[in-house]
Amino acid sequence: MRDPRYDILFEPVQIGPVRTKNRFYQVPHCNGMGHVYPQTLARMRGIKAEGGWGVVCTEEVEISPLSEIAPHHEGRIWEDRDIPALRLMTDAVHEHGSLAGIELMFNGYATPNRYSREVPIAPSALPVRSRDPMQARTATKRDIANVRQWHRQAAIRSRDAGFDLIYVYAGHDLGMPMHFLSRRTNRRSDEYGGSLENRVRLLRELIEDTKDAVGDRCGVVVRLAVDQLLGPLGLTFDNEGRDVIGMLAELPDLWDVNIADWSNDSQTARFSPEGFQEPYIAAVKSLTTKSVVGVGRYTSPDAMVRVIKSGVMDLIGAARPSIADPFLPRKIEQGRLEDIRECIGCNICVTGDNDCVPIRCTQNPTMGEEWRRGWHPEQVPGKRSDRSVLVVGAGPTGLELTRALGQRGYEVMLCEAEDQLGGRLRFESRLPGLASWFRVVDYRLQQIQRMSNVMVLPGNRIGVEEALGSGASAIFVATGAHWRKDGLGRTHRAPMIDPGDPSVMSPDQVLRGVVPAGPVLVYDDDHYFMAGALAEQLARSGIEVIYATPATKVSEWTEQTMEQSRIQSRLMELGVRILCAREWAGMRANGAGREVDLACIYSGRIETVTVASLVPVTMRDSHDQLHQDLLSVETSWADYGVLEVSCLGDALAPATVAAAVYAGHKAARAFDADDAQMAFRREWIDLRSP
């Protein structure tokens, strides 16, 4: 039963001619599906509507081949033939009484048009926003008129596809109306340039055009980046952003407030707290009588009630929390707060869009698999037998495997060698800014502890005899991995460091509290978060740190999670000496310390640094000994009633926490299932269609 304190979250809100059933609003977010995987996309959005989100929006939807963002998989509404694919989504959303919103996109110089090969247009001639060696041309008056016409046609098609809310997109420093607004990208001297009134003209015209075209049937939403966070180099809220809102305050039916660019608006938990955008959203709310929606990575209903009652916003916008738990609104409504899978703010979801593949989530392993595998975030098939299961290892994989098997109804014994559960996340979540990552453990432990069919045994190291004698018919080995100390990794395909050298420490040792003597060299050939986070932790403790990597940037892969620049900036602020494009070339003793030779990856020039200790962050080795030992006695399994032994997660092949959770969930669904049940569907193009 719903707590009356949260009643305000379930009040309807009028948005122009349409009305939401509650205040939960899934804002537009990319997902790596778009026009390429319409069935996959529709099912994912439909699940969110089923989970109680009163408004469910698309990702960016291209209105013209003159502004397309291939190879990224966004939506398309170029012509009438695109309507049926989009209607799959609106039908799925309407089935559960929710409103469907579409974010129409013409991004100008932010879209290099790699597929259409059309020359991009911009307010003024500029290099395209991507790294492509090409420029956008200055838009003519005819171009501007065409953009208005394409937008109007797309709005009408959107209405015909069943959408209830139509976006005019000027957000994230991507939408072309934003480019006209900012002096940074608009050097025009005609009626679309110069004064703020002129620069706001295109945005005003698009809003008016859209309202004229569909305003009697659809609400019109403006998504605006009110601050580019560039200081005097760009649009700031206090310098012109506030005035833009003042000029247009009552024109749209809803304001969707964000800050530019996307990496600023969707900062990870490592660099921003929940609700850090609130001052901007509240300022917009104070300037208009129309409803306002904003995001803040909110997962607590108390925080949601606070921002509504305090007048910060009218609707609780969410992208990442709706990905981590599509049923978040329903759980609040049903008084099941303990069942909410809280977003950890890791931005693994962003990597799917960046890699042009369907979205994934650390907390929610069913995200992106709703249609192709038929996975529901809250439902799993019941047990098909009375078989019992032994799970060895209580890290992310073992916990998710145990939780899902327990939900299915199987008897499960979970054994963990350590006295505490959580595996790698016990230590990784202690790194600077990563405390929220332990939510992965908390959620699963909380679920498991309520299951009478699951037995959890911490402090129990399992060997072959114990595993075989457990009485289980299936044994899953999820014993994790450990960091190597010898430097073997991506760049160096053979060991290069003596792991017995007392000056060499593994990341695991540092994570467990061993403090290396300074100066310390953190050598990064992993390129994700670990080396940068360790360097930050050590520097904050007052140790002199040198960070070296063969990559050209610090923590290079975190570009995928939109954190790279912040990680590098933070290390620089902390005084860490950074040596990029440097690979290991040798080490020798120098008194109590070590001289380490680092070679430029381009020239081969050697640079020598003198350190007291070294922490190589290169690769991990699986803890698969138990699995190997069990395989060696496979002929005796039948004597103990054991039918299968599997190794999974980091114990099979180390990867991200998201991959570890997914491995556990997939194994739980595959247990006692046939191959056909586990096969995923593909989306086929019917070549017989016109």
List, by residue number, the catalytic residues.
30, 169, 172, 265
Measured from the Cβ of residue 387, the count of other Cβ atoms closer than 10 Å reads 16
Helix axes 396-408, 657-670, angle to 10 degrees: 30
Task: Report H helices in 541-637.
Answer: 564-573, 625-632
DSSP 683: P
Helix axes 564-573, 530-540, angle to 10 degrees: 20
**Type and span of the H or E element at 394:** none
* CB within 8 Å of 276: residues ≥ 6 apart: 267, 296
d(CA 329, CA 319): 13
- Phi, psi torsion values for 109, nearest 5 degrees: -70, -10
Place of tokens 């307010």: 123
The token pair at 120 is: 């991009």
The token pair at 385 is: 């037998």
Contact 634, 569 (CB under 8 A): no
Pair type for strands 582-590 and 593-600 = antiparallel
Residue 196 burial by CB count (10 A; 0-12/13-18/19+): exposed, middle or buried? middle
* CB within 8 Å of 189: residues ≥ 6 apart: none
Contact 414, 400 (CB under 8 A): no
Q: The dihedral of CA 154, 160, 162, 163: what is its sign?
A: positive
Measured from the Cβ of residue 237, the count of other Cβ atoms closer than 10 Å reads 21
Bridge partners (DSSP) of residue 294 are: 316
Name the residue among 375, 419, 377, 414 with its Cα closest to residue 398: 414
Place of tokens 């098939």: 381
With b for 16 or more beta-carbon neighbours within 10 A and e for fewer, the 84-93 pattern comes to ebbbbbbebb
Task: Report H helices in 546-656.
Answer: 564-573, 625-632
Angle at 51 between CA 277 and CA 438, to 5 degrees: 55
Residue 519 burial by CB count (10 A; 0-12/13-18/19+): exposed, middle or buried? middle
* CB within 8 Å of 26: residues ≥ 6 apart: 45, 48, 53, 55, 56, 57, 317, 318, 319, 322
Measured from the Cβ of residue 239, the count of other Cβ atoms closer than 10 Å reads 14
Contact 347, 266 (CB under 8 A): yes
The string of DSSP letters for 100-155 reads EEEEEE--GGG---TTT-PPPEESS-EE-SSS-S-EEEEPPHHHHHHHHHHHHHHH
Contact 329, 339 (CB under 8 A): no
